[in-house]
A and B are shown apart, each in its own frame.
Chain A
Amino acid sequence: MTTRWMLFDQQRCFGCNACVVACQQEYGLPAQIRFNRVDVTVSGTFPNTAIAFRPLLCNQCDNAPCMTICPVGAITRDATSGVVVTDRVRCVGCRLCTTATGCPYGMRAMDGAGKVVKCNFCLDRMTAGETAPYCVKTCPSGARQMIVGLTPPTGTRMENRGAVTATKVVYGDTPNQRI
């Protein structure tokens, strides 16, 4: 069923945040709302300090807690792409899905109209003829790639974070060349 997933190459990501701003600009988000973040972790002692970058966006979880928690059934899975989507008309703005139980990754936010918003892999844009989400297009290092129509890899590459397995967002080291 799943036809859309995103591949991240953590070795290439260098925390430039272009993906964050590209998404905000296209969706007209205020600076406080990010559909997409890049986590930076610092560990170790100078000079052996390690810095790691990890892009984070909605995982389009297989067992999405946001879907389960929504009292009015506004959150569903798109049958074609597997993307978890929110129906703005049905959403009553109760905020349950924005809690840590509703989304363990903090990937849902309220917009100015009291509706919940999140990354939907730019699904509507793609159907409008775009070739890739804006975060993918702008990435200066080619660290992220939108894969359509292939089965996501399984096994060790799948990242298990907490209680929920992120089945669509994959961290790997497969080269993703732009040219």
Chain B
Amino acid sequence: MFKSFLLNRRQFLKVAGITTGAVVAGSGTAFARTLPGRRPALARTEDRTVLVAAPANTIHTACNMCSNFCAASAIRETVAGTTVVRRVEGRAGHPNTRGGLCAKGQAAVQLLYDPDRLKTPLRKRADGSWEVRTWEQAMNDVADGLQAIRGTTAPSTDAAARRAASRVYFLNRRGSYGGMWGAFRAEFGSKNVSASAPICDAAKRLGTWLGVAAARRVRDQRATNYTLLFGRNELEATRYRLGFAHELLQNIKTGGRLVVVDPRRTYTASKAHQYVPVIPGTDLMLILSMCRVILDNSLTADGRVAAVISNTVEPTAGAHWRSDAWANVIRLHANSLARLAAFRDEVFKPQYAPAAAAVVCGVPDATITRLAGEFCGVINPADGLTRARPADWAAVADTTSGIAKYSNGTMASWAMLCLTGLAGGMNIAGGYVAVAGLPASTAWSFSSPAIGVQAAESLTRAAGYPFSGNVGTANTEGYRTLIPYAILNGLPRTHPDFRRVPAGPLAAPADGTGVITTDAGGVRWADVYGGGSAIGGGGIRGLFINHTDPAVADADSDMWVRALPRLQFAVAIDVYLNTTHELFPPGSYVLPECTVLERTDATTPTTVSGETVMNLWQLAVSPLHSSRSGYWIFASLGAAMSTRYGVAGGYFATDAAAAAYNTATAGSGRVHKHLPDNEVQFTQSVWGNTAVGGRVWSTVQTNGGIWTTGEHATAADPEVRFSFVSTESNVNVVEFRQVWENTNTATFTTPLAPQWRAPRNTPTATFPLRFMAGGKVMWHTMAATANLPYLVQDFNANAEVRNTNYLLINPTDASTRGIASGAWVFVASANGSRIRVQALVTQRIMSGYVSLFHGYGEQAPQKRTAHNRGVNPNRLTSSRRIDAGTGQFTPNEEIVQVIRA
């Protein structure tokens, strides 16, 4: 008696396959009228073959709609003789997800069948339109375009050739194809490369390195008593692991306490037992003041830390205090006494006394004291009374990039780990645990061993910015927001758009303007870099972009708009034609990559997950249109470069080429492998596969939740090292200390401990409001998902993000400006740009602070759903606002004025 909707849709698909956009009468065409064009595009223009005809309708794969890489299954069906993906599902019980998939993951099918996708290679004509090209034409033209900038076939070790090759900047998204990308770049010879860390979480990574000598650590939420989240909005932007959401909510239900410190009353804050609003950019002060309260009152379990600090106990070098209630907390080094004392000396400065700190961070001193006691377990949050620290107490403080996106971001991230260490949250179940990683010998690595050395000479270094050698993703990373400066630097100095590359914090600007001025006319990047007139003026002439849209995603969007057309040549790999591509100069290319459901390739192991998990992306349907996998594109481009210009680069194309490359790079510790993009579909995804060095979840649980493989922990020494005062010799740490000394001479003390530093930029009379550009929600993340109708639908009038973005503003700030909810307003910032946007007056944000979600403001008309939807908030952000330690972009420190439009 039940009419099957399933059958109806199948019939619809059949009909729609031959009846474009037509309304077909009858019960079998349920949504023909409302789904014009939103149908599977079944025809392909190139002859490609699915090598493996999988018998089952289920392909185990992983999601790639964000970098959590959740395990997923593609459920397929056959429609009119063609295999199509019907939906994706989570993998029940998977340790990274707890079985679910988010809305973006669910929309992966809509991305696969989006009629607005790039279908063929395109070359830009002089009039700005795009011309269809074959892959062969494209590969040859791209090789020519890149080579024209490189201008030489000299080996990449030749300094002049490498300088010339460095005029092409390689810009990647979050490390996609990081290994191949890096290897291609290294062979080409460019030193300039960035992925997302410089605009995302480099400061957090470095802060983590300072505390635990690794770029990553993860909290084990399953047994936590007290979770303190600083600017971490885990339930709107589930970073690193989707499973965090499940575990956090489960933890709350089973007695765990959640406290959220944030200027916004977020979805995460709505689940918290206590919400603590803080003045933006001052979390660092709150944290260090809490540390002071802990030390001042010996709130640690048995006073041992206090005893060490007061020099009454001499610790044994290298010992672990396993017997303490807060056992395994601190791995004491030979000089631990001095280091603890340095930390003590810092937090005992008068500025950290709760009463003084309260003035800075806006959190009352009584609250600071109480939070410190609660965090250590000695104050019962239920009644506010003191108590003995409960047995097995686990408290952990965590952040995402919220507190890292201020100019004191590295310090705040580091201090937060110190706070957790003081309360005993290191290396225990329920606290921070070591991050598992796959061994370096994994067969999936394509990384070139020479990348780091080469990149160390990049534009970023030349301009005096710290270089994120070990805090990036698969690549070492430069400071990507310098790119438009370096492009405009090539203009005549009299041109109104001419820009000098601003000096980074390592440089000591002579004129105090923050611009390198070693010659009277203003030094061009090429001069700074060392090329001088020998290679002509100007810095970056070419851009090779992999899946990112800097004209929308990066700071100073309006400067990108001016800079991109000035390039000599650009090439991009993407699923869509986007705003950035539209600004490319004539002759430039965009190359269509297939989506994650159309390829099998070596996936990035999810080493940031906290568990040894490796998922394979597997082909569910063969690539639609003329799209190809990134793997195929890189290999083919390498082959084209190799054939035409003798550049090594064809090494992925065949087994023989890979073998030859391995021979040439023998001793690098890496194994390069030819992996056809239509390889075998595995019957199950790999997770915890011991064959590749992983561990299964059950083993992890058996081991008490302490996961120890990877870069800094070994079987013999499985503890998470932790230090208040860093003595690490890691290149980033050394550089960080150098930066700190140069920029903070007035207050610098040695040895270095985390210390307060006010945000550089605070509201002014002209720009009285703090502005947060960015933020994510669970159903929409930036440009990659902006064209999917399912993800930009108006879910609910009170949802944090609706079908467009709004300026969130507190009722107090709104009423003084005569702004009502829904009214149009102008927002202007100090970078000279102004946007017009609708206001959402809300009690979810503190007074003095406004925010605008990113991922909107797409300008490419080909993305029909995204085109002109909402406003790009990065038009207002300045690339000159950086974290002192890493040079990371700090959008949260932007300041604006808002007026009624």
Task: From known contacts A42-B842, A111-B31, A112-B32, infer whether A16 and B793 are also in contact, taking CB-CB under 8 Å.
Answer: no
Partner of A18, one of B30, B100, B265, B844: B100
* Residues of chain A within 8 A of B97, CB atoms compared: 140
Contacting residues of chain B (787-840) with chain A, CB-CB under 8 angstroms:
789-793, 795-800, 810
Say if the beta carbon of A177 comes within 8 Å of chain B. Answer: yes
Cβ of B33 and Cβ of A179 under 8 Å apart? no
Given that A31-B790, A32-B34 are contacting pairs, would A46 and B253 also be in contact in the complex, using a CB cutoff of 8 Å? no
Q: Is A73 an interface residue (CB 8 A)?
A: no
When chains A and B are docked, how far (Å) is the Cα of A117 from the Cα of B27? 12
A-chain residues with CB within 8 Å of residue B34 when the two chains form the complex: 30, 32-33, 112
Q: Which of B87-95, B455-463, B484-492 contacts A (4 or more CB under 8 A)?
A: B87-95
CA distance in complex: A117, B33 (Å): 15
Q: Which of B243-251, B328-336, B566-574, B588-596 contacts A (4 or more CB under 8 A)?
A: B243-251
Q: Is B1 an interface residue (CB 8 A)?
A: yes
B87 touches A26 (CB 8 A): yes
Smallest CB–CB gap between A55 and chain B, Å? 11
Determine whether the beta carbon of A51 is less than 8 Å from that of B267: yes
Top-6 shortest CB links A-B: A140-B100, A51-B270, A16-B778, A88-B3, A40-B798, A30-B34
- B277 on the A face (CB < 8 A): yes
Chain B residue at smallest Cβ distance from A46: B843
Known: A14-B249, A51-B267, A140-B97. A40 touches B3 (CB 8 A): no
Contact B6 A124 (CB under 8 A): yes
Tell whether, in the assembled complex, residue A178 and residue B98 are in contact, meaning their CB atoms are under 8 Å apart. Answer: yes
Give the most central of B5, B109, B810: most A CB within 10 Å: B5
- Type the 1/0 row for A63-86, where 1 means its CB is closer than 8 Å to any CB of B: 000000000000010100000011
A142 touches B846 (CB 8 A): no
Q: Is the CB of A42 within 8 A of B844?
A: yes
How distant is the Cα of A136 from the Cα of B495 in the complex, in angstroms?
60
Q: Is the CB of B253 within 8 A of A42?
A: no
> Is A137 within 8 A of B89, CB to CB?
yes
B737 within 8 A of A: no
With A16-B779, A21-B791, A138-B101: A178-B92 Cβ-Cβ less than 8 Å: yes
Residues in B with CB closer than 8 Å to A137 are: 89-90, 99-100
Q: Which residues of B contact A143 (CB under 8 A)?
A: 249
Chain B interface residues toward A at CB < 8 A? 1-6, 8-9, 12-13, 23, 25-35, 38, 86-87, 89-90, 92-93, 97-103, 105-107, 109-110, 235, 238, 242-243, 245-246, 249-250, 252-254, 265, 267-268, 270-271, 275, 277, 778-779, 789-793, 795-800, 810, 842-847
Which of B98, B797, B847 has the most A CB atoms < 10 Å from its CB? B98
Q: Determine whether the beta carbon of B265 is less than 8 Å from that of A178.
A: no
**Cβ 8 A contact of A141, one of B100, B268, B275, B845:** B100
Is A27 within 8 A of B9, CB to CB? yes
B141 → chain A closest CB, angstroms: 38
A41→B100 contact, CB < 8 A: no
A86: nearest chain-B partner, CB-CB = B3
Interface centre among A22, A40, A125 (most CB of B within 10 A): A22
With A38-B796, A112-B32 as contacts: A21 and B2 at CB distance below 8 Å: no
**Which residue of B106, B797, B845 contacts A46 across the interface (Cβ within 8 Å)?**
B845
Q: How far is the CA of A178 from the CA of B843 in the complex (A)?
A: 34
Contact B93 A25 (CB under 8 A): no
Is there contact, CB below 8 Å, between B1 and A87? yes
Contact in complex: A178, B246 (CB < 8 Å): yes
Are the C-beta atoms of B103 and A20 separated by less than 8 Å?
A: yes
Q: Is the CB of B796 within 8 A of A40?
A: yes
- What A residues does B268 contact at CB under 8 A? 14
The residue in chain A whose Cβ has the minimal distance to the Cβ of B845 is A46
Complex-state Cα separation, A172 to B103, whole angstroms: 24
| Contact call B250/A177, Cβ cutoff below 8 A | yes
CB-defined contacts of A89 to chain B, threshold 8 Å:
3, 27
Pull 29 A–B residue pairs with CB atoms less than 8 Å apart, ordered by A.
A11-B253, A12-B250, A12-B253, A14-B249, A18-B101, A18-B105, A21-B779, A25-B107, A28-B30, A28-B35, A29-B31, A30-B35, A31-B792, A39-B798, A40-B799, A42-B844, A44-B843, A46-B847, A49-B843, A123-B2, A134-B87, A138-B106, A140-B100, A142-B98, A173-B253, A175-B253, A175-B254, A178-B100, A178-B246
